[in-house]
Structure 1
Amino acid sequence: MDYGYVDCHCHISAPEFEQDLEEVIQRAKAAGVKTLVAVTEGVEEFSRVLQLYECYPGLVAPCLGVHPLQMGRPGSEQRSVKPQDLDAALPQFYKHSESLVAIGEIGLDFTPWCAPTQQDRDDQMDVFIKQLNVARELQLPVNVHSRSAAKITIATMREQGISRALLHNFAGKPSVALEGVKAGYCFSFPPAVCRNQQRDKLIRQIPMEHICLETDSPALGLDKHERNEPCNIVLSCRYIADVKGLSPQTVQLVTAQNAHRLFPRANRR
């Protein structure tokens, strides 16, 4: 079966794509992308991602989730998530459960300027665990952010009995990644990994059966000052192939198989 490329983590509902979404979709299809696993960061995005799922059946695979960082008031910096940010989201998870391929983007971000206090970290953990519980209840995988919190993110998911997870743009230590591999989790890498060799050791140590491809578009492209797009998934594929000493075709096929094992509801329409 030709799965094509599976972009396991992208923000296709982001405002950056509003003006030319159709062209972005066409470029993705021309590059061989067959599935866009579309994540959200907050409840205000939920209706948009579900609308795109209706507009592009079989291509857009929707996830709903509340990110550990939220936008503050217009013009202000991002802030750490609060438990009340989840209130409006919880009923939506259940209402739209049949449409979802995963709960995401959820996770922990303990970067000091994003979560400066213990209360911030406690609030993030509270929101994370509540969403892990929803995923377990609905028998859905999770699409996870883990910045400056790799070890605790993986440990928390294991404690909560999560068996299917994607750790996106993973930048933790190889030893921590291998704990996730033991738990059966997958790891994905965006085109930004091509900018330097920092992730090479990590990519080499994670078994190919646990690697997926992502763009995290519109962010994390080859050039940090330019909008990233799903069609750039080919860059991640080539880079991982190079690091692993495999052909790009092998990496494309294996990562797509991994993605469909992780997100079995993708491509069902």
Structure 2
Amino acid sequence: MEHGFVDCHCHIAAREFEEDLRDVIQRTTEAGVKTLVAVTEEVGEFARVLQLQERYPDVVAPCFGIHPLQGDGGPEQRSVKPQDLDAALPQFYKHRERLIAIGEIGLDFTPWCAPTQQDRDDQMNVFIKQLNIAKELDLPVNVHSRSAAKVTIATMREHGVSRALLHNFAGKPSVALEGVKAGYLFSFPPAVCRNQERDKLIKQIPLEHICLETDSPALGLNRHVRNEPSNIVVSCRYIANVKGLSPQTVQLVTTQNAYRLFPKANRC
């Protein structure tokens, strides 16, 4: 049986895909990708993700989330404020049946993005509120943790979150193993192939706790080329190589992991 891939974290609603989305989706399905877990970063993207699900109901699995960094449509990112969540709140409840997860949510304590304690406090406030919504709606969370791996995992454990994907995880192996203990999963995009920095981490996380993602349009093999979901095969091969397994094994187990974490995404 052909199990296919699940791209556990991608931004298929991004502007970068507007021009040629049909071709992108065609390449995606040709590469064997069965499900795109489509995350959002701000309330302005919610409607777009639902439209894409209507257009590609067998492929697009929508998530709603308010990211710890907000772009305001410009290149300057700023730390999220509690009021950024206000417009989103009714949407989570209104569309709860269609959502497969709450995401992309999390913490980003990169110094130039969150320079003050107030920024960090605001992010924490928004993160915890969304963790509580996920629990209330009985949904898993799709989580961003940059320069904040330890505190992100500790916060989720503290709030009784049992189902989480930590995407593009770059924390220490010891921190990752705390997440493994809590039952969390970790995903890695094609960008991990650019250097060997994550090899030790990938080796130490059991395959039963790993998923595949592209984070497209970002985090591809080449920093200056748009990434797309068909590149999931790159992540699969790389993880197989690091772990000394066959790509088929990694494909099979990561897909099973993904559908266990996101049961509503499994329409097969």
TM (normalized to structure 2)? 0.99
1:4–1:32 contact (8 Å) kept in structure 2: yes
Secondary structure of the residue that 1:35 maps to in structure 2?
strand
1:61–1:267 contact (8 Å) kept in structure 2: no
Where structure 1 has 5 or more consecutive residues not aligned to the other structure, the ranges are none
Residue 252 of structure 1 is matched in structure 2 by: 251
| Cα offset, 1:3, TM superposition | 3.0
Residue 206 of structure 1 is matched in structure 2 by: 205
In structure 1, C-alpha distance between the alignment counterparts of 2:201 and 2:3, rounded to whole Å: 26
Residue 17 of structure 1 is matched in structure 2 by: 17
What RMSD in Å do the two structures reach over aligned CA positions?
A: 0.9
Residue 183 of structure 1 is matched in structure 2 by: 182
1:8–1:188 contact (8 Å) kept in structure 2: yes
In structure 2, C-alpha distance between the alignment counterparts of 1:209 and 1:10, rounded to whole Å: 21
| Cα offset, 1:76, TM superposition | 5.0
Instruction: Deviation per CA, 1:174-223: give whole Å up to 9, x if none.
Output: 00000000000000000000000000000000000000000000000000
1:58–1:266 contact (8 Å) kept in structure 2: no
Structure 1: which 4+ aligned runs deviate by more than 6 Å?
none
Secondary structure of the residue that 1:143 maps to in structure 2?
strand
Cα 1:75–1:6, aligned 2, differ >3 Å: closer, same or farther? closer
Within the alignment, does 1:95 sit opposite 2:94 as a pair? yes
In structure 1, C-alpha distance between the alignment counterparts of 2:114 and 2:29, rounded to whole Å: 38
Residue 34 of structure 2 is matched in structure 1 by: 34
Where structure 2 has 5 or more consecutive residues not aligned to the other structure, the ranges are none
Instruction: Deviation per CA, 1:53-85: give whole Å up to 9, x if none.
Output: 11111210000000000013x545100000000
1:161-240 alignment, distance < 5 Å: 161-240=160-239
In structure 1, C-alpha distance between the alignment counterparts of 2:253 and 2:219, rounded to whole Å: 23
Residue 124 of structure 2 is matched in structure 1 by: 125
Instruction: Deviation per CA, 1:142-190: give whole Å up to 9, x if none.
Output: 0000000000000000000000000000000000000000000000000
In structure 2, C-alpha distance between the alignment counterparts of 1:175 and 1:225, rounded to whole Å: 32
1:13–1:52 contact (8 Å) kept in structure 2: yes
| Cα offset, 1:2, TM superposition | 3.4
Residue 68 of structure 2 is matched in structure 1 by: 68
Secondary structure of the residue that 2:221 maps to in structure 1?
coil
In structure 1, C-alpha distance between the alignment counterparts of 2:175 and 2:263, rounded to whole Å: 26
In structure 1, C-alpha distance between the alignment counterparts of 2:9 and 2:158, rounded to whole Å: 24
In structure 2, C-alpha distance between the alignment counterparts of 1:174 and 1:117, rounded to whole Å: 27
In structure 2, C-alpha distance between the alignment counterparts of 1:54 and 1:11, rounded to whole Å: 16
Residue 57 of structure 1 is matched in structure 2 by: 57
TM (normalized to structure 1)? 0.98
Aligned length in residues: 268
Cα 1:87–1:99, aligned 2, differ >3 Å: closer, same or farther? same
In structure 1, C-alpha distance between the alignment counterparts of 2:185 and 2:232, rounded to whole Å: 17
